[in-house]
Structure 1
Amino acid sequence: MSESEAVADSTSAAGGASGSDGTTTPRRRRWPLVLIACIAIAAVAFAIGRFTAFGAGAPATLASDSADAGFARDMQVHHAQAVDMAMQIYRKTTDDQLRTLSYDIATSQAAQKGEMFGWLVAWGLPQNGGALMSWMTDADHPGHGSAATPTSDAELRAEMGIATDAKLAELARATGATADCLFLGLMIRHHEGAIPMADAVLARGAEARVREVAAAMKAGQLAEIDAMRFLQSRLRCA
């Protein structure tokens, strides 16, 4: 079954509202709004949770090359681009659902980025250090054996789902449905690149708060991927 068929089936299963003439009005467009609302609620819960920080359980020392520190640095880089792309489309899209989703992405990831900056300050560690993904093992790189693990900065950024400068320039120039569809494709890939990093720190992170944030981040981004794929289907993106 194709993705569009799956969307249609889920819409039919949800039913519709009956009009005065006995016809049924599809509820297809309501589903992403419900999901987006749930994402927004989760973002608020995350923002409240960030103020708990580490509490009395903070470690006395944390190595600069630890999974926790590497995740905090790399995910700040990752989030910075997501916020930039989300605000670009927020300012120019005319699609209400996409505008709501892009706003939620920008605000939630800006908050997460700020918290991760604070972690490194609390740990007494530099904001920059080491190559991208150097804290991850070969097994953390999806689709690669140990001999094929990416090593160049461009390869690493591509694996993280980070858009190239050329794609960012294309998004900046695009308008209308072209811009909407380009954003959705770039952001889906961007989100997909974050999942292995979240999984890696969930497996090896020492800090409970870091693992808590990584788990919430993974769940939120998977939900947003579903919402964006639905929007791709509705907007008939190629």
Structure 2
Amino acid sequence: MRDTTVTEPDVTDSDDAPTHKPSRVPWAVAAAALVALGLIPWFVAAPGDKDTSAVPSTASADAGFARDMAVHHQQAVEMSFIIRDRTSDEDVRRLAYDIAQTQANQRGMLLGWLDLWGLPKTSSGYMAWMKGDGHMGHEPKDGSLMPGMATNTELDQLGKAQGKDAEILYLQLLTGHHMGGVAMARACAEQCEVPQERQLAQGMVDAQQSEMKLMADMLKERGSAPR
């Protein structure tokens, strides 16, 4: 089974991206930055404050979404780096770079929230936080931990494909990946309690739906379609 441990992605490429290495900043500086940007309210910025009523519980939708979407995003970043090495098409490479940058940044934000809340970053049950049966019917296997995620076999296929074949497979896998991500983000937009997290989730819904339309057009140009 593919190692699902999440690591900090290096969203760089010596050919077409500026060199940037993630830095380790003190917790207080990171917290202050998130608060200043309005990405986390001041009253939940510091775990252990006297007023902890606004800090989500480990079983909450807020924490569950942050944990699960961090894993979901990590695979999109991985696939985007794979395709940038398998094609010379500038449109596909540009899309892959944009997705890698955006989702790596969002993933860092989600993990940062979990740090600030003093909650674990690993999940004992993917998507268990979602109300209703939206998470049912998916059996984690072959590296596909949540709906939309590619399997290890599909990732291996992408890593071996070249040119147009690689472009089509990437666009198809990312379309399915986005569909699963949109369902998760929509659930958080409805269920999460922290306003900033709901806002981020809704932004994911809007952006990924737009990207799915773009990818459908790109697939059509290549004589293919979403799966």
Q: Is the 8 A contact 1:78 1:160 kept in 2?
A: no
Q: Is the 8 A contact 1:50 1:115 kept in 2?
A: no
The corresponding residue for 2:131 is 137
Distance in 1, matches of 2:102 and 2:118, equals: 25
Aligned length: 184
User: What residue identity is the alignment partner of 1:98?
Assistant: V
Aligned positions of 1:55-94 closer than 5 A = 55-58=41-44, 60=52, 61-94=55-88
Instruction: Work out the percentage of aligned pairs sharing the same amino acid.
Output: 35
Aligned positions of 1:180-219 closer than 5 A = 180-219=167-206
TM-score, with normalisation over the residues of structure 2?
Answer: 0.75
Q: Is the 8 A contact 1:133 1:156 kept in 2?
A: no
- 1:178 aligned onto 2:172: no
Q: Is the 8 A contact 2:66 2:114 kept in 1?
A: yes
Distance in 2, matches of 1:78 and 1:158, equals: 8
The corresponding residue for 2:107 is 113
Distance in 1, matches of 2:141 and 2:39, equals: 33
Match of 1:51 among 10, 26, 37: 37
Deviation for aligned residue 1:130: 2.2
Q: CA RMSD in A?
A: 2.2
Q: Is the 8 A contact 2:65 2:184 kept in 1?
A: yes
Change (3 A) 1:102 1:156: closer
The corresponding residue for 2:154 is 167
User: What residue identity is the alignment partner of 2:177?
Assistant: H
TM-score, with normalisation over the residues of structure 1?
Answer: 0.72
Larger Rg: 1
Which structure dedicates a bigger proportion of its chain to helix?
Answer: 1
Partner SS, residue 137 of structure 2:
coil
Partner SS, residue 92 of structure 1:
coil
Partner SS, residue 85 of structure 2:
helix
Deviation for aligned residue 1:156: 10
Distance in 1, matches of 2:42 and 2:156, equals: 46
Change (3 A) 1:134 1:101: same
Q: Is the 8 A contact 2:175 2:215 kept in 1?
A: yes
Q: Is the 8 A contact 2:138 2:147 kept in 1?
A: no
Change (3 A) 1:221 1:228: same
Q: Is the 8 A contact 2:142 2:153 kept in 1?
A: no
CA deviations over 1:83-138 (Å, ceiling 9, x no partner): 00011112231211111111100000000000001000000001013210010123
Give the structure, 1 or 2, with the largest relative contact order (CA under 8 Å, sep 6 or more). Answer: 1
Unpaired segments of 5 or more residues in structure 2? 1-33, 45-50
User: What residue identity is the alignment partner of 1:129?
Assistant: S
Change (3 A) 1:131 1:155: farther
The corresponding residue for 1:220 is 207
Match of 1:98 among 89, 92, 95: 92
Distance in 2, matches of 1:199 and 1:188, equals: 16
Q: After the TM superposition, which of the residue ranges 56-65 and 206-215 deviates more from structure 2?
A: 56-65
Match of 1:232 among 206, 219, 227: 219
Q: Is the 8 A contact 2:88 2:163 kept in 1?
A: yes
Distance in 1, matches of 2:133 and 2:185, equals: 14
Change (3 A) 1:92 1:71: same
Distance in 2, matches of 1:77 and 1:158, equals: 9
User: What residue identity is the alignment partner of 1:136?
Assistant: M
